[in-house]
Amino acid sequence: TTLYRKPTDRYTYLHSSSFHPEHTTKSIVYSQALRYNHICSDPQDRDAKLGDLQNAFLRLQYPPCMINEQINKARRIPRDNLLQDRSKGPNDRTPLVVTYSPQVKPLTRMVNYLQTILDKNTTLSKALGGRPDQDFRHDQAYRLLLSTLPCSQALQVLAKSQEQRAAPCGQDGDNGLQVSCGAPDLKEPRGQRG
């Protein structure tokens, strides 16, 4: 079997400069490469299709080393393993839902550290059900903040949030921030109604 793409397909994946956790952008590349590995039965055909996928993510300004890492990770999984059905077991983990922000990383490290302490106590470990399942929700306030600011201030807020992200592959340089002041989300605020 091979992967069929409609002539109108435009590879509309999430742009690398979007305000999402790093693991989300990594998983997009990995899951698509895994999907290609699952569908394509001929390794040469699969590699050609993965080359097209790699070019699509490069156009979206994903870091080249991250793309290669995720594609190679998916390529290493044997296709036979992907074709087998897997049953999911019950999930007894406690959900920990927080609003995503780059500043949440210390919280994740703290949860992981405290979990190792809790795991040593069998009573607490059994009561809490293991490591919490950390999930992120979108912050609507960020979008509202940007839509109510004048364009120049919105660009400063976006630039500051982009500076907090690490440069791709540990290199300094262009982080892919592209903002158009004509975008609908960045309109100048209208006058106050009385």
pLDDT at res. 75: 95
pLDDT at res. 181: 42
Q: Is residue 191 in a domain? A: no
Q: Is residue 174 in a domain? A: yes
How much of the chain exceeds pLDDT 90, in percent? 31
My answer on whether 78 and 110 are in the same domain is no
The answer to which of 32-41, 47-56, 124-133 has the lowest mean pLDDT is 124-133
Domain that holds residue 28: 22-83
Fill in the DSSP letter of residue 80. Answer: H
Q: Is residue 56 in a domain? A: yes
Q: Is residue 193 in a domain? A: no
- Total number of domains in the chain: 3
**Above 90 in pLDDT, residue 143?**
no
My answer on whether 145 and 134 are in the same domain is no
My answer on whether 39 and 67 are in the same domain is yes
Q: Is residue 90 in a domain? A: no
My answer on whether 132 and 145 are in the same domain is no
Claim: this prediction has a pTM higher than 0.85: no
Q: Is residue 6 in a domain? A: no
Give the Cα separation of 126 and 132 in Å (integer): 12
Q: Coil, helix or strand for 116?
A: helix
**Above 80 in pLDDT, residue 191?**
no
Give mean pLDDT, residues 76-88: 88
Secondary structure string (H, E, C) spanning 125-167: HHHHCCCCEEEEECCHHHHHHHHHCCHHHHHHHHHHHHHCCCC
Q: Is residue 77 a contact partner of residue 37, using CB atoms and an 8 Å limit?
A: yes
